[in-house]
Structure 1
Amino acid sequence: MTSGAILAAGDSGLFAPLMAFLLVVIVSFLLCLVAGMDNDTVADFFTANRSLSVTKNALALSGDFIFTTALLSAVGAVSLAGYDGMFVAISAIASLGVLLLLAEPLRNTGRFTLGAILESRVTGTATRVAGTVITLAVCMPVMVVQLTVAGDVTAYVLGLNRPGAAEVCTALIGALIVSFAAFGGMRGSSMIEIVKVIVVFGTVVAVSWAALSRFHWDLGILLETAAGHSGRAQSFYAPGLLYGDTMTGRLDLVSLCVTIVLGSAVFPHILLRVSASRNGTSARRASTAAVVMITLFYGAMVLTGLSATATLGAAVIASHDPQGNTALFLLANALAGSGTGLLFTMVACAAFVTVLGTVAGLTMAASASLAHDLYARVCSRGGGGERSELNVARAAVMTFGLVSVYLAVVLHHWSIVALSLFAAALTASVILPALVYSLFWKGLTRTGLLWTLYGSLACCVVLEAFGPAVSGGPLALFPHRDFHWFPLQNIALVTVPVGFFLGWAGSLLSRRSDADHDRYVETQTALLIGGKPPGSP
């Protein structure tokens, strides 16, 4: 998404959106302020002392799954690519199977950061350091994308369309969101996610209701009209529109779906959320409820995308943004009749609160890794004290957040699709293999784990850097340069097998000690009974 795309999606009726925007900001700040009063310990700050009910955790977990890209890009993909966009949405629903598989074992480890979870199986500071490196490598790119969108949405709501306005909004809103995370901790983040789910679902229901009523509640008419207005009536419900009908295009689509299915459930902030459950059973129940809500959400996204095509036409949507990221805004404006109506106000608020919740969650995950893994377990080796760790955690929130804000401002007019693709590929190619091996494979060794983490990370960096998402295309990070030799924009089709292979090969080639076997037995016992392995947290 470019910085001007959202600004062109509406007009200047600003009073209602501005008031709604201010209301969201004030309510979010008050929630974080009230919630943050109880953040006296590390457990309070990072996991809310595992005191959240199943209902609250389920709502917050659903919110963690809804990125800005899910809200905006999913609608755009369906509106412009038809079948391919719907296939991507189905892949997002399928990713919840990974969550159901891992939720209870993850909670039963008794840990809440990636490095700590992995160290429950493979001890040593190298595991904690590697977990921190991977966490930052995933969280930073996603933060930059989310903050860029936040600046664009805020600039529109305030009616600012001069050069540099979106960047200023990015800086101000970014600083505000980071402050929310520093004050509120996990409790504040959870409250924001719950508000986010309520606002987003309310918006989705309102837009879907208005869209269906426009077509007399007849899905057949909606589907037929969408195909007719797509400009490709014969192929709209056939594969090939998203990346092309070539072999490379088909592989790219499959690779994207692999990325979504395997990576969506293991983002660091989702691991942190699952670990905040009261026990393994609560984590499983919250995950099951989240599956239902996210399935309904993506079903509504498909309906909304088709409605956008049927109402506006694919050509109009693509003229505002080639990737269709403004389709939801354009549809809301069209359904409102004239001017910036209630629907557009709701969509703008939903987009903003989505960014707010996602950025707060990512910031918490990154700061937890920096403070709990790097500072407490590597630098001070457990001797710094809880108060010291809590202070470092808040400092880490501010530092990580402000660096992300700076990068979002600097890269604001760049095509940052590559950042999202890279982060998603890392979760599927690095985090998932490491977790699966650590939790379930008795043959894992220290060498195998580190090969998976660093080897797969290096593979992702190389293939992404020399792929078409970085150079060689109009939407690439460097559109006027072409040094790519890897053909796929989505690299997970190659990097996921590499990640699993490296863990297996490294473990096979290294010597497995008696301590490795003992650690496996201890970890499996903890997973079964919900206890903590030695050395927790």
Structure 2
Amino acid sequence: MNESSPILNISIFGVFVLITLFVVIRASRNTKTAADYLAAGRAFTGPQNGIAIAGDYLSAASFLGIAGAIALNGYDGFLYSIGFLVAWLVALLLVAELLRNTGKYTMGDVLSFRMRQRPVRAAAATSTMAVSFFYLLAQMAGAGGLVALLLGITGTGGQAIVIAVVGALMIAYVLIGGMKGTTWVQIIKACLLIAGAAIMTFWVLGKYGFNLSSLLGAAVDKAPKVGEKLLGPGLAYGKNGTTQLDFLSLALALVLGTAGLPHILMRFYTVPTAKEARRSVVWAIWLIGIFYLFTLVLGYGAGALVGPDAINKAPGKANSAAPLLALELGGPILLGLIAAVAFATILAVVAGLTITASASFAHDIYANIIKKGQAEDKDSEVKVARLTAIVIGLVSIGGGIIANGQNIAFLVALAFAVAASANLPTILYSLFWKRFNTSGALWSIYGGLIVTITLIILSPAVSGTPTSMFKNADFDLFPLSNPGIVSIPVAFLLGYIGTILSKDKADPVKQAEMEVRSLTGAGAEKAIAH
């Protein structure tokens, strides 16, 4: 890393920022109504939205984290990629088209369709804000870590400044361009990320005669301490029964959590029809799947060309695998490009999260709860969304600076676990269970939220181990780092119990309308137009 050029890295990143700001400003010219600002005017095609979904989904953790996990843990690291990818089958088969048919802007539209509007929208907005905030916090704190890794800024003050800069850019993208500008940033970022990963992948394979077996053999030779274990399961999660159960819990949260992530769900509303929503998910699956195949080569390539010892000694340890590989392959210029892509990745993801959280507050809380659907004018919802974006941006900047240097794994785990526990059970019950009612929705959302957060606070991710957030504290009463294997079934059970015990009767007319609309799309376009 000593051969890297921080000035070159910052310059390349600056060029990206200027180009994307120009695109965002151009996109903002047609942003006039709430539908334009919150749903990009529903003007994107399935392929365009699919690329944007890939850009929203492939965070810096996907690029840097998974490559590092494969470099150090081999097969067990690649299991992350499999979990992230399989999750999209759940989104495609159970969620994408049905949500597009029954919603308008947010998840709260779907959940409140046949229930009491105000309590369910409040619960949905609370869950959306919780997932978005912790995801944002992780990304912002990750920005500080990437600074040390890629730009050579090691002081906490310098990293805090960069976190603030990333936050300011994020706020600018959202304020100026809304969902349309944010979508174009995500499309550009996805193209850059996949292209960069493809170039490095073929470069690595070229060094080994495009023979994957030779690459794997070289990785094994470079890691004599583990040897052939690098190619089989169990290196990271096979130590004992608890670690195996922990991985199962994490996998469950990843596979089911994706279909409940609010910033992913909101992307289904940016296309004109349910058919395009389905096409966008198919495109996303292909792009994300191809990218994760690239990470397999990049991970083992980093293991073979850089070696686990050098990776562990570098700033960021596992997260340094891909940048170190770039430096090994193409020197400072390729490293600069990878640095720019990594920063672009964070920028695009935090912008997507911010627009989602601000839209949920403006549409669910302000327009439908405070104003009861009778806002003063059609622009007031957009104004509130923009103001909320500023507040969310400032809070996430402060949180990211405070969390900088801390263990942020629990923040990401919390976002996925909350999405899988609080959001997905309620969505599935709303779409497929006729008896499901308001009480069940509230039990499922709030119950899933409370159980998940409580278990993570009591887990080893927060205290009790050298890698915990609070290293000197010890209140890890729950043995698993990810609570998904407990919190997800509990949330489904709470939704069931809340429905059964309640005297609320589901509205058969609204339920029938929702069933027909979700399955056929009949009436959906007329409702969205209004």
TM class, shorter-length: over 0.9
- Residue type matched to 1:487 in 2? P
- Aligned equivalents of 1:305 and 1:429: distance in 2? 31
- Structure 2 residue 59 is the aligned partner of structure 1 residue 79: no
Give the alignment of 1:54-453 within 5 angstroms: 54-101=46-93, 102-154=95-147, 159-230=152-223, 231-320=225-314, 324-336=318-330, 339-340=331-332, 342-384=333-375, 385-453=377-445
Residues 426, 445 of structure 2: 8 Å contact kept: yes
Shift of 1:528: 2.6
Shift of 1:183: 0.7
- Aligned equivalents of 1:143 and 1:105: distance in 2? 27
Residues 59, 346 of structure 2: 8 Å contact kept: yes
Superimposed CA distance per residue, residues 472-513 of structure 1 (whole angstroms, 9 cap, x where no aligned partner)? 112211011111111101110111111111111111222252
SS in 2 for 1:324: helix
Q: Which stretch shows the higher mean deviation, 180-189 or 256-265?
A: 256-265
Give the alignment of 1:6-45 within 5 angstroms: 9-45=1-37
Residues 448, 506 of structure 1: 8 Å contact kept: yes
SS in 2 for 1:485: coil
Q: Which stretch shows the higher mean deviation, 216-225 or 232-241?
A: 232-241
- Residue type matched to 2:110 in 1? I
Q: How many residues align?
A: 525
Residues 73, 230 of structure 2: 8 Å contact kept: yes
- Aligned equivalents of 1:182 and 1:96: distance in 2? 30
Q: 1:355 to 1:505 in 2, by over 3 A?
A: same
Superimposed CA distance per residue, residues 317-350 of structure 1 (whole angstroms, 9 cap, x where no aligned partner)? 12225761111111111122xx51x321221111
- Residue type matched to 2:355 in 1? M
Structure 1: unaligned runs, 5 residues or longer: 1-8
- Aligned equivalents of 1:103 and 1:26: distance in 2? 33
Superimposed CA distance per residue, residues 93-114 of structure 1 (whole angstroms, 9 cap, x where no aligned partner)? 1111012121100100132212
Q: 1:155 to 1:488 in 2, by over 3 A?
A: closer
- Residue type matched to 1:226 in 2? A
What TM-score do the two structures reach when normalised by structure 2?
0.95
Shift of 1:255: 1.1
SS in 1 for 2:38: helix
What TM-score do the two structures reach when normalised by structure 1?
0.94
Superimposed CA distance per residue, residues 492-537 of structure 1 (whole angstroms, 9 cap, x where no aligned partner)? 0111111111111111222252x53222111012113312399877
Q: 1:110 to 1:227 in 2, by over 3 A?
A: same
- Residue type matched to 2:318 in 1? G
Shift of 1:161: 3.5
Q: 1:355 to 1:163 in 2, by over 3 A?
A: closer
- Aligned equivalents of 2:467 and 2:104: distance in 1? 40
Superimposed CA distance per residue, residues 250-269 of structure 1 (whole angstroms, 9 cap, x where no aligned partner)? 01111111111111232111
Shift of 1:238: 2.7
More helix by share: 2
Superimposed CA distance per residue, residues 383-434 of structure 1 (whole angstroms, 9 cap, x where no aligned partner)? 2232111111110111111110111012212222111111111111111111
Shift of 1:213: 1.6
- Residue type matched to 1:355 in 2? I
SS in 2 for 1:95: helix
SS in 2 for 1:129: helix
- Aligned equivalents of 2:490 and 2:443: distance in 1? 10
Shift of 1:151: 3.5
Residues 443, 512 of structure 1: 8 Å contact kept: no
Residues 167, 409 of structure 1: 8 Å contact kept: yes
- Aligned equivalents of 2:433 and 2:134: distance in 1? 31
SS in 2 for 1:38: coil
Q: Which runs of 4+ in 1 moved over 4 A?
A: 154-159, 533-537
Cα RMSD of the aligned pairs, angstroms, is 1.8
Q: Which stretch shows the higher mean deviation, 232-241 or 88-97?
A: 232-241
Give the corresponding residue for 2:478.
486
Residues 417, 475 of structure 1: 8 Å contact kept: no
Structure 2: unaligned runs, 5 residues or longer: none
Residues 227, 233 of structure 1: 8 Å contact kept: yes
SS in 1 for 2:181: helix
- Aligned equivalents of 2:156 and 2:16: distance in 1? 26
Shift of 1:248: 0.2
Residues 239, 245 of structure 1: 8 Å contact kept: no
Q: Which stretch shows the higher mean deviation, 243-252 or 391-400?
A: 243-252
Residues 109, 533 of structure 1: 8 Å contact kept: no
- Aligned equivalents of 2:11 and 2:416: distance in 1? 35
- Aligned equivalents of 2:155 and 2:163: distance in 1? 14
Shift of 1:174: 1.0
Give the corresponding residue for 2:512.
521
- Residue type matched to 2:337 in 1? M
- Aligned equivalents of 2:26 and 2:33: distance in 1? 16
Superimposed CA distance per residue, residues 206-227 of structure 1 (whole angstroms, 9 cap, x where no aligned partner)? 1112211222221111111212
Residues 144, 405 of structure 2: 8 Å contact kept: no
